Amino acid sequence: MYIPVVFMGGQYNHLIVRALKELGVSSRLIPQSTSLEELKVDGLIMGGGPHSVNDGLNKLGRTPEIIERCTFPLLGICLSHQLIGKVMGGEVVKGRQPEYGRTLVKVLETDDIFLGIDREFVAWASHNDEVRKNGGRFTILANSEYCDVEALKVDKRPIYGLQFHVEVADTPRGKDILKNFTKLCKN
């Protein structure tokens, strides 16, 4: 199985590659300029990064059009979660309180991504912006005290967004959630 990670400039993008390799999946970082046509993959993950999607999507390479058109399973983390929310018609705003470090995520809908995971779990996050649904074509799967959309799933497509970081060691169930995503890629 091959699931590359689009490098978005964030601190933990390379840790996603590490986590996938530890799950027995082959992976590497690929640039934002990679087009959908070039991607021969079983699934794709897009990492976090320092930009805000509200500063313009032109800094984010080909990622918006991949989100719009891809047919393989896709997971966006942090910045890329926000990007998915925006591309799917939601809104991205400055959070009422940014989250840095530990947060408690509450699952609203288990879906495939949270199978076998507790309804509440500790996760680590590092973000200023957050997603608002506002008519967006996705379902909210989880929230936290300070953030209304910690996880989302795009309607009728295998596309997920996670505001928190499954790839860091301080999110204890992170690897299990990532494993749930790789199972969706097994076809």
Active-site residue set:
78, 165, 167
Q: Which of 1, 2, 14, 137 binds another protein (CB under 8 A)?
A: 14
Of 7-15, 56-64, 66-74, 148-156, which part binds another protein (CB under 8 A)? 7-15
Whether the Cβ atoms of residue 145 and residue 104 lie closer than 8 Å to each other: yes
Q: Does 97 bind another protein (CB under 8 A)?
A: yes
Q: Does 128 bind another protein (CB under 8 A)?
A: yes
The 130-159 site mask, x for binding another protein (CB under 8 A), equals ------------------------------
Q: How far apart are CA 37 and CA 54, in angstroms?
A: 26
State how far Cα 50 lies from the chain centre: 15
End-to-end Cα spacing for the chain: 10
Residue 114 CB, shortest distance to another protein, in Å, is 21
Sheet holding 29-30, edge to edge: 29-30, 5-6, 44-46, 74-77, 159-162, 151-154, 138-143, 91-107, 120-132
Return the number of the residue (28 or 186) whose C-beta is nearest another protein.
28
Q: Which residue type, as a one-letter code, is found at position 169?
A: A
Q: Which of 38, 89, 169, 172 binds another protein (CB under 8 A)?
A: 169
Q: What DSSP line would sit under 92-123, residue for residue?
A: EEEEEEEEEEEEEEEES--TTTTTT--SEEEE
What is the token pair recorded at 177?
């959630």
Q: Which of 27, 34, 126, 163 binds another protein (CB under 8 A)?
A: 126
What residues make contact with another protein under the rule CB under 8 A?
A: 9-15, 18, 48-50, 78-79, 97-98, 100-102, 124, 126-129, 165, 168-170
